[in-house]
Chains A and B, each alone.
Chain A
Amino acid sequence: MIGVACIIAFSLATISLVLTGYRLVVGPDPLDRVLALDTLVINAIGLIAAMGVWFATSMYFEMSLLFAVFGFLSTVAFCKYILRGNVIE
């Protein structure tokens, strides 16, 4: 049962990554690309969490946490850069 659920989660997360990558490439505005990158990181965390269930290991959670931290930091830094032209003033 959990295997089928994990396979469904892998498929949906991969389709989500492809859709987000489409917006990342096509997005007309730089902020669309920033938002797509943020969502890409969220989807990658979900995929990694489902992989942790599939392989029955708790080794992947540090990776998820690092992804979450760097995703948030990069989003804020990109927004500050677009808004002010500088990250740290």
Chain B
Amino acid sequence: MIVFEAIAAFFIVLGAFFMFVGSLALAIMPDMMRRLHGPTKASTLGLGAILFGSMVYSFGVRGEPSVHEFLIIVFVFITAPVSGMMIAKAFILTNHAVRPTLTATGTATGWATLDPGAPTSDRLPPAIKAD
């Protein structure tokens, strides 16, 4: 009992610390990409640790196993990289000051854009390509 409670308390404090670090990075970092870097990792890890601690607590101390937290962990771990990628793509495409500073892509189109002449069309099956 006391072991489960100690594990739960440790994970809750760890998760709160990581969440705080992510928000601190969001508040004090100088530009957008560095601001994006903090919360997308630290907040996900912090939220995962808090929810894991809550799962351990309800399983070990209250004696009623709960899978709701696992549902939230899975959902957040799937959606956080997607929203991070969306924000980074919108930032690259809307901010014209950063685009010359990026490495060349080797094609005519820039970063985070669909290349119409990309080899994707070669990989399509012939029936689709004929259309």
Contact = CB atoms under 8 A, between A and B. Distances in A.
Interface of A: 1-2, 4-6, 8-9, 11-13, 15-17, 19-20, 22-23, 29, 31-32, 34-36, 38-39, 42-43, 45-46, 49-50, 52-53, 56, 58, 61-62, 64-65, 68-69, 72, 75-76, 79-80, 82-83
B36 to A, nearest CB: 6
B124 to A, nearest CB: 23
A34 B39 CA distance: 12
Given A16-B20, A53-B57, 9 more contacts: A9-B16, A12-B17, A29-B95, A32-B32, A49-B54, A56-B62, A64-B72, A79-B87, A83-B93
B53 to A, nearest CB: 7
A5 to B, nearest CB: 4
25 contacts: A4-B9, A5-B9, A8-B12, A9-B12, A9-B13, A9-B15, A11-B16, A17-B23, A35-B32, A42-B19, A42-B43, A45-B76, A46-B15, A49-B69, A49-B72, A53-B8, A58-B58, A58-B64, A65-B75, A68-B75, A75-B83, A79-B83, A79-B86, A82-B90, A83-B94
User: Interface size for chain B: under 10, 10 to 19, 20 to 34, or 35 or more residues?
Assistant: 35 or more
A25 to B, nearest CB: 11
B69 A1 contact: no
Interface in B76-104: 76, 79-80, 82-83, 86-87, 89-91, 93-95
Label chain B's interface by main secondary structure: helix
A8 B32 contact: no
A1 B6 contact: yes
Contact of B94 (A8, A58, A75, A82): A82
B50 A46 contact: yes
Given A35-B35, A35-B39, A46-B46, A1 B5 contact: yes
Contact of A53 (B47, B54, B68): B54
